[in-house]
Amino acid sequence: MTWIHWFRRDLRLRDNPALSAAAARSNGHVIPLFILDDGILRAPRTGAARIAFMLEALRDLDASLRSRGSRLVVRQGRTLDVIRDLVQETGAAGVAWNRDYTPFARRRDMQIEALLRDLSVETLIAEDAIILGPDDVRTSEGRPYTVYTPYWRRWRALVEQRRTELLNEIDQPRLRPVPERIADQRIPDAAELGITVSQRIPPGGETPGNARLAAFVDLAAEYSIAGYADGRDLLAEPATSRLSPYLRFGCVAPRTALRAALRLLDSVGDDQDAGRIVRSIETWIGELAWRDFYYQILWHYPHVLRRSFKPQYDALAWENDPALFDAWKEGRTGFPIIDAAMRQLNQEAWMHNRARMIVASFLTKDLLIDWRWGERYFMQQLVDGDHAANNGGWQWSAGTGTDAQPYFRIFNPVSQGQKFDPTGAFVRRYLPELTQVPDRYIHAPWTMPQAEQQRCGVIIGRDYPAPIVDHAQRRTRALALYRAVSSVAL
């Protein structure tokens, strides 16, 4: 009785519900399958960094499978064809996978289900990619939440209710060898797929993902979750978990991350530091809840990928100046905090979350460019690019979404820099040309008097661009544009 486990965004063996279920149903006769889908590889939003990370994760997965006597079967082609062929070759009784919540994946999975029904093959779909699913967290009237804070209260209470179940890790699958005759393809290098990656990306896979989680929840480490609440907004500090790419590809299950946090909560003693640690852990758990929140928004309101959640904002009169957009992308706006953040993105395929909010506010409210342009660029660049979280973050910043900040909440790039990069260490790391600029001017170098520019060797307009917009003017303009549509009756 062979079963196929179709890996998608769950590139791991540990705590994998569909994989373990397939193993249980087949007494270990599982074909672990990954499909390099032609369409996905070519899709404009599939960033090169993400593909490179994924290929590494596949290699790690294959190594783990081999150490258990199995192996990863990788095939390239159209998903439907690959599954039909493999089912027929193996005579599989069933196909298992973990649910994917994006509209594209939902359509694809329905087609696969229909195909398998025609072939009289069983399907098994498990919930895995989020901690609590779209139907678990509902208001008392049974409706989905569209505001985070009440969602969070309900979510946190449900986690407490289901604590025992959530703390219980799924049994590791017992796997038998994949028959020799099942052909597969070598896992290609990025170059073989015609992809070049210039960015420094973290190592892909379950092994480095578990190591990252373990380091983050180790209170003895220099940068651990203990300092999260106080340090997470400081751009120069490695105070965040940096788990996002691993969560994106399921190298670490969000449930596994939550479990580590809940166990740590239990172990925190009563010393003077306990309050800070508990606050930090709760804050971080809140970030896992944000992730679930945006998944359930995408599930219930899939139109957010194309339009504003709040329809009146589709009428916003964006300026959409391509030259300003290029300056933003390339990190040459003349605002150090913006430019440093964009260069971090371009160099590392990752950006600090505080920085994401700052550059998103700047793109939409200073440059008056449609948030979807920024969303698409982030998806192209980010190694952790995730449709639900990225879209939620952009709509939040643009003020067009669920639980959005009010439109008049406009970040000042200078004061945000002073607040979250007080010494300018972050700015100087990515803008070495500003190394010699004194601290008091580091976030607004254009305010340096001529003599000061000479002294530190940074002439504005020669060594570093003058600001491409006047923040105060653009702020006023943004307020007018937003007000024009926000007052429109629904």
By the rule CB under 7 A, 408 interacts with DNA: yes
DSSP helix/strand/coil, 360: helix
Query: Is 350 labeled as catalytic in the residue annotation?
Result: no
Residue 60 class from Cβ within 10 Å (0-12 exposed, 13-18 middle, 19+ buried)? buried
Coil/strand/helix, residue 390: helix
Site size toward DNA (CB under 7 A) is: 22
353 included as an active-site residue: yes
Among 8, 29, 154, 471, binds DNA (CB under 7 A): 471
> Nearest distance from residue 410's CB to DNA, in Å?
6
Contact yes or no for 442/424 (Cβ under 8 A):
yes
Q: Which residue in 92, 201, 349, 357 binds DNA (CB under 7 A)?
A: 357
- The secondary element (H helix, E strand) that includes residue 356 is helix 353-361
Nearest to 294 by CA among 357, 388, 387: 388
394 is catalytic: yes
The beta-carbon contacts of 243-246 under 8 Å, at least 24 apart in sequence, are 243/209, 243/212, 243/213, 243/216, 244/350, 244/384, 244/386, 245/50, 245/53, 245/201, 245/202, 245/204, 245/350, 245/383, 245/384, 246/206, 246/208, 246/209, 246/212, 246/213
| Nearest distance in Å: CB 354, DNA | 7
Catalytic residue among 113, 318, 346, 348: 318
Out of 97, 101, 148, 377, the residue judged to bind DNA by CB under 7 A: 148
Site membership for DNA, residue 291 (CB under 7 A): no
In three-state secondary structure terms, 147 is coil
Instruction: Provide the Cα torsion 293, 215, 98, 31; round to 10°.
Output: 170
Supply 296's token pair: 């359930």
Whole-number minimum distance, CB 186 to DNA, in Å?
41
Our finding on whether 220 is near DNA (CB under 7 A) is no
Q: Identify which of residues 199 and 397 has a Cβ nearer to DNA in the complex.
A: 397
Give me the catalytic one of 348, 353, 446, 452. 353
Q: Is 318 a catalytic residue?
A: yes
Q: Name the minimum Å distance from CB 291 to DNA.
A: 10
Residue among 13, 4, 2 nearest 171 (CA): 13
Task: Enumerate residues 26-85 that contact DNA by CB under 7 A.
Answer: none
Least distance in Å: CB of 286 to DNA?
7
473 binds DNA (CB under 7 A): no
CA pair distance 303, 102, nearest whole angstrom: 11
Q: Closer to DNA at the Cβ: 26 or 240?
A: 240
* In the complex, least distance from residue 475 CB atom to DNA, rounded to whole angstroms: 6
Interface with DNA, residue 279, by CB under 7 A? no
**Residue 290 vs 378, nearer CB to DNA:** 290
CA proximity to 250, closest of 470, 78, 3, 6: 6
By annotation, the residues acting in catalysis are 287, 290, 318, 353, 371, 394
- Judged by the rule CB under 7 A, the positions of this chain that interact with DNA are 148, 233, 287, 290, 353-354, 357, 405-406, 408-412, 415-416, 419, 471-472, 475, 479, 483
